[in-house]
Each structure stands twice: as structure tokens, then as C-alpha cells.
Structure 1
């Protein structure tokens, strides 16, 4: 057939160049992709923005923060240090991230720099409403609300930064050896006291103070503070249907036992009537309970968005569970915190490992082994090397738990045979 010939007199359309985004558009796309956890797309867009404007400190800080979260950390360090050199007196976030990436004195200096910038922001914000008092009453009310919201936000950020510095000082003292904590105790107390004053409704200063008390060997005080922190955000998991059915079965068995006992006595008829009345009352209570549960569901749905706003970060709650496991005699709350984390995101092997430890500590060996097996599957999915520390921990626990369960089963069989 050959190639078809063009019609005579036809004009060739000019090739259309692909639309070029601006650096700002690439940066906005990068942040949106980061929020959606599309890390490859986010990384590519950050790089395109910086290729066009390599010394834009906003883009450098954004990309550096992204790298600090998802890696590689060596590149994050280089990007954030460049941003700090270009703009050393603005943007506290980059210094807080540098505090996490650096070590020793450099880390401490970075965090202190971030706190200095934040305190200046707080002071500047406090002076703004007085300077902007002119205007209509409605405008002044709007300005006052915005100022109050910004004040709360900045105070919360500053409280978090003060806690970060206190924890850094504690960890450095602990690594330095026994007796070194005494040298930083006074400053840590002052930092955490200031943090609590800045944001009284935040659970973070209380949990940081609990950790500090634990470092001091004051475990009872630490647990009390941790429970105060938990009370600000933790909502216990509702009783499952299976657990509710077990409770109903126990109540029915107790009622049957009471009826049997009544029949054996001289007032059998009265006992039977009482049992029947109790049974009827139980049904009424069940109906009432159902309506109450419906009311609670409505209330829960109304408050769901508020609770989401108050919920601490994933990492904060993981540290809560770790502290609970170390301080509390029971593991129920720690297990619930970890299970709630897994409901949100089940792709962190560390959460599975800590849950396995909680279950083992509570004597539920089968649940512990199940958590270990889930963790091993996840590690394979993440393609972690076979000699990775967390895989070794999982495998060690798997061997130990399997041995314990086998021994328990053997002991049960022997006891049954002896009967």
C-alpha cells in the first residue's frame, strides 16, 4: 500500500511544545504528593523546582524536610545545611530537623537555634494585635480570632521544641555515662516547665516529663505523669462483639446457676419467679443498653473530627506505648495504643515488634506469636536484609514463643493423661 500521500496544498501544523510548569507549581505539586504519600512523584517535583531555582530557601527547606522523613538522610543533611547557610535567622523547622540528623554538640546548637527563632516569632505575634487595632468592630474581632489561633499554634510549636531540647539533653547525658544526668537536670526541669506553661493542654510536655522522671529513677511519678498525658488524648478501644457475647454468656450461666440453687431450696416457686423477673429485667436492660450504644455512636461521630485534631503524631503515640510497657504493671493500654496505630498504618515493623512484646508480657503467647509472624511477613515485603536488627529480633522471639507454646501444650497433655 505504501505511505499515503499528503493532499496538495495542505499546511503542516507546528509541533506543540509541552506545557512548562513554573518552579512554584512544581513545588506545590511536590508538597501535595508528599501529603498523599506519593514519595517518588514528590521527590521528582521537588528536584524540578530546585533545578529551576537552586537557591530558593523555601524549596530547599521543603525538600530537606521531605528527605528527613523518607531519606536518604545524608542528602537531607546537605540540603538543610545549605538552606541554613542561605537563611540563618528564619525558618525554625530546618534547624529542628538538623537537630535530629546531627549528633552531639552540633545537634544541640541546631535545636537551640530553632527555639531562638520560634521565640522571636512568638514575641512578634504578641505585638501585632496592638499595632493592628484600627478598623471596624467586625474586622477587629476577626483579627483577634486569627491572632489567638496563631498564638496557640506558635505556643504549641514552641512547647514541642522545648521538649525536643530537653529529651536531647537527657539522651546525651545518658550516653555520656552514669552521673551525667545531674549536670542537665536543672535545665531539663526548666525547659519542661516552660513547655507546660506555653501549651497546658498538650500531652507532649507531660510525656516528656514522664520520660525525664524515668531517667531519674522516679518511676511512680513517671507513670502518674504519663497517665495524665494519656488522659488528654487516649480513648480506649470499644469492647468487641465477641467480648460482649462472652460477658452475656457468663451472665446467662450465672442466672441459670441461681435458678438451680433456688429450685433446690424450700422457696422454689419464689426463687423461680425472682429468676424470671431477673431474666425479664435483663432483657429490658439489654434493650436500654442498645439505645445507649446508638446514642454513643451518634456522639462519637459528632466528635470524630475534633478528636482527629487533638490526636498526637504516630511517632508520639509509639513512644507512649514504649513508656507504658516499661512503667506500667499491665499491658492493656499499651496494647490498645499499638493496635490503634496498626489500624492507621500497619507497615511499620517496630510497631508489630512492640505489640508482640506487650502480648508476651501479658501472657497471651498466641497473640504475641501472631504479631511476630505479621512482622516477619512485613519485613520480607519491605525487602529488609536478612541480617537486619529487627528481623533478628522477630526470629529470636518466634523461636522463644514457639518453644513456650510447645511446652505449654505438652504440659496440658500430660495433665490430661494423668486424670
Structure 2
């Protein structure tokens, strides 16, 4: 049985994109330098591997997703020069990837001490690592530095030959995203702070004014309006957000898929699930369904997507109960194969299925099973009678 069709048949696009082979880690491992002696610590010029070479080796390992070995190269570099900014920031990023938040904090914190007014990236990372007011301060400092750098970039005549100041180029979207991060803090960690609501909205508005093509900012504003129970404004904002990325996704359906849909959409898989949830809450069911069906085309093993499709069909009334049952049944079966920690969602799936009851196909299957049992019993009785006779 295929997925229920809402208006017209929708063929699942063929994918030609395949994952490449797993990266080979041996090359990096064979080139790991020996532990530096006291002499090499004092005389870097005579070392087999200098700071730049160690960082180059680390980058090679990063390119093949071998973060553990990359961090070893960074550690050697730190032993040679504990206050090298490039090494500290690279090491901090790697420690984040490896789940060592405290180690990352130390690296980025030291980088801030050494260069507090240059380089925004370390503040962005610290904003993610800290909570509440500390995180807000980090993001605000990062925004200040990015704004200054962006102004300097705009004042220059940027050409292909321009190499910049050595730092990564800053975009208006980077600044917009940082404002979104602050707004989210006022929605969560600092929601009980005085004037939190006003600060939240102000930062979202700054995010939109910084980059009016940032879908994340409009989606966040939709969430803000929902928290205020203003569904009409929330609907306008989420539809504006979706209009900035969904057409690109739909355009892929008419082309050979040479890349993952996630690479085309400006927001990730999880954010698109959140977008569909907001659309459901604002009763934009068709748009929510279109997004969720697209997510299934990317990955059919996400229970929440099947559940949300079932839920939005259930909310549309009697005519959609068959569709609701189909999607919820899929979610239920998948939950028995894939681990899921969202107990309330699993419980709601069971409640809805119980309320909906079995569908016609399920009734027919049950009747068929009962008939098979009856025929088996009859055959057994006939066999016994023939033996007795």
C-alpha cells in the first residue's frame, strides 16, 4: 500500500546521488609526528613539523572527518606554541566535534584573552557553549565584530585578487543568524528575565533587517507570535519563511538529483520539521503536508515526520481519517524498529490509533485470518474423523 494521495499522484523522484566511500584515515595516521622533545619546544625552526605544517596535517584529517587524529596534531602544535590563535581556535572547534565542551571553552576562552577585539568566530562558539546572559554577551560581542568587519569589507573594492585580512569573510546572514541565537535565548533560558519578550522581538527584528532573505529569522518570528497566541501573524511569518526555501526544493523534482536536498535547502532537516509543526498549528495543512512528504523523500526512518502527517490529517476531519490511520500506523511500526525517546509522542500515536480504530484493509485482513483459522480447524476435524472411521 502506497502513501495516500492528497490531490494528485506524486512520483517519488529517482536519486542518482550516492554516498562516497568512507574516508581513508591511514594516510594521516602514518604521518603523526613523534612527541616533541624539550629541544623542539624551544627551537621550533629545527622541528620536523612546524606550527603551519601541523595545522595543515590537522586540516587534511578534518577533510576526511578524522577529528580525533586532527586534534592530536593540534595538541602537538599547542605544545610548541600554547598561545597561537589559529591553533587555539582550530583545537576548540575540534574539541566541540568530539564532545569535549569544557576543553573547547578553555581554547576559545584563551583566544578571547589573547585577541578580544579581533575574530568573531570564537565568540559565536562560546555563545553556543554558555547559557543565559553569558551566551548573550558572547553573541553580542561577536555581532559587534562582524558588523565592523562587514563595514570594512563593503568599503573596500572587493575583487577576485582581494585576499582579505586573513579572517573569514563576513556575510549579512552571519549577523542575522547571531541575532536569531540571542532571540532564542530570550525564548528559553532567559524567558523570565525582565523585558525578555521585548528583547526577543527586538533581536528577531534585527535579524530580519540584517538579512531579509534569512528564512530562519521569519520562522523564529512565527514561533514568537505563536507564543503570543497570534496565529494570523504567525501564519504570515511562517509562510514567508517557507517561500524563501521551498521553491528551491520543488525545483529539484524536475531535475536529476545530483546532490542531497539538504544541501539546497537553506535550513536543515530539523528546522523543516519545526516549520511543518508551525504550519500545522496555523492550519496551513497543505503546505505542511508538502514539506513533510519532501522530508520522507529524504529519510523515511524519522518517526516524527510520519506522526505529524498522521496528526495533520486527523485534524482535518472525517474525510482524512483513512490517511491519518495510514501515517500513524507507519509511525507506530517504525517506533518498534527505531529507538525513540519522545514518550509523549509515542503515547499520542497510540491514543490516536485507538480512537481511529482499524481501517477497512485491516478489517479484511482480520477476517481473512479468521477464515484461515476456521478452514484449518475444519481440516483438522475432518482428519480426526477419517482416522476414527
Q: Specify if TM > 0.5.
A: yes
Q: Is the 8 A contact 2:262 2:268 kept in 1?
A: no
Indicate how the Cα distance of structure 1 residues 23 and 398 shifts in structure 2: closer, same or farther if over 3 A, else same.
farther
Distance 1:341 1:110 in 2: 35
Once residues 306 and 359 of structure 1 are traced to their aligned partners in structure 2, the CA distance between those partners, rounded to angstroms, is 20
1:155 lines up with 2:167 in the alignment: no
1:360 matched to 2:360? The reply is no
**2:249–2:264 contact (8 Å) kept in structure 1:** no
Check conservation: 1:30, 1:46, Cα contact below 8 A: yes
**2:299 counterpart SS class:** helix
Which of the residues 213, 216, 221 maps onto 1:204? Answer: 216
Call closer, same or farther: CA 1:368–1:97 in 2, change over 3 Å: farther
User: Gaps (5+ residues) in structure 1?
Assistant: 1-16, 130-139, 239-295, 347-351, 380-388
Query: How far 1:301 moved relative to its partner?
Result: 5.1
Instruction: After TM superposition, give the deviation of residue 36 of structure 1 in Å.
Output: 4.2
1:317 aligns with 2:272: yes
Do residues 221 (structure 1) and 172 (structure 2) align?
A: no
By how many angstroms is 1:360 displaced? 3.0
Measured against aligned partners, the alpha-carbon deviations of 1:25-74 in whole angstroms (never above 9, x if no partner) come to 44334344445444434444443433443322222222323333451333
Aligned residues: 310
Task: Tell me if structure 2 keeps the 8 A contact 1:203–1:229.
Answer: yes
Structure showing greater radius of gyration is 1
1:370 Cα shift?
A: 3.7
Q: For the residues of structure 2 that align with 1:95 and 1:18, how far apart are their CA atoms? A: 31
Deviation of the 1:168 alpha carbon: 1.6
Q: TM-score, length-normalised on structure 1?
A: 0.59
Cα RMSD (Å) of the superposition? 4.3
TM-score between the two structures when normalised by the length of structure 2? 0.63
1:116 paired to 2:154: no
- Measured in 2, the distance between the counterparts of 1:414 and 1:88 equals 69
Where is the helix percentage greater, Structure 1 or Structure 2?
1
Say which structure, 1 or 2, has more relative contact order (CA 8 Å, 6+ apart).
2
Contact kept? 2:77, 2:87, Cα under 8 Å: yes
In 1: Cα distance, 2:110 partner to 2:183 partner: 26
Partner of 1:245: none
Matches within 5 A, 1:17-416: 20-129=48-157, 142=160, 153-174=170-191, 176=192, 183-235=195-247, 300=255, 308=263, 311-330=266-285, 331-339=288-296, 342=299, 352-361=302-311, 362-363=313-314, 364-371=324-331, 374=334, 377-379=337-339, 390=341, 392=343, 396=347, 412=363
Supply the distance in 2 between the matched residues of 1:194 and 1:60 (Cα, whole angstroms): 31
Shift of 1:399: 5.5
Contact 2:303 2:334 in 1 (8 A): no
**CA–CA separation in structure 2 for the residues paired with 1:168 and 1:205:** 14
Change (3 A) 1:38 1:370: farther
Instruction: State the alpha-carbon separation in 2 of the partners of residues 322 and 207 from structure 1.
Output: 11
Equivalent-residue separation in structure 2 for 1:368 and 1:36 (angstroms)? 39
Give the stretch that moved more between structures: 116-125 or 35-44.
35-44
Deviation at 1:340, TM superposition (A): 5.2
> What is the CA distance between 1:94 and its match in structure 2?
1.9
Query: Are the counterparts in 2 of residues 80 and 94 from structure 1 also a CA contact under 8 Å?
Result: yes
**Per-residue deviation, residues 177-231 of structure 1 (Å, max 9, x unmatched):** xxx68x2344434333332232222212212222222222212211221111111
Q: How far apart, CA to CA, are the structure 1 residues paired with 2:169 and 2:272?
A: 22
* Contact 1:125 1:151 (C-alpha < 8 Å) held by counterparts: no
Task: Return the offset for 1:160.
Answer: 1.1
- What 5-or-longer segments of structure 2 have no aligned partner? 1-30, 34-47, 315-323, 369-389
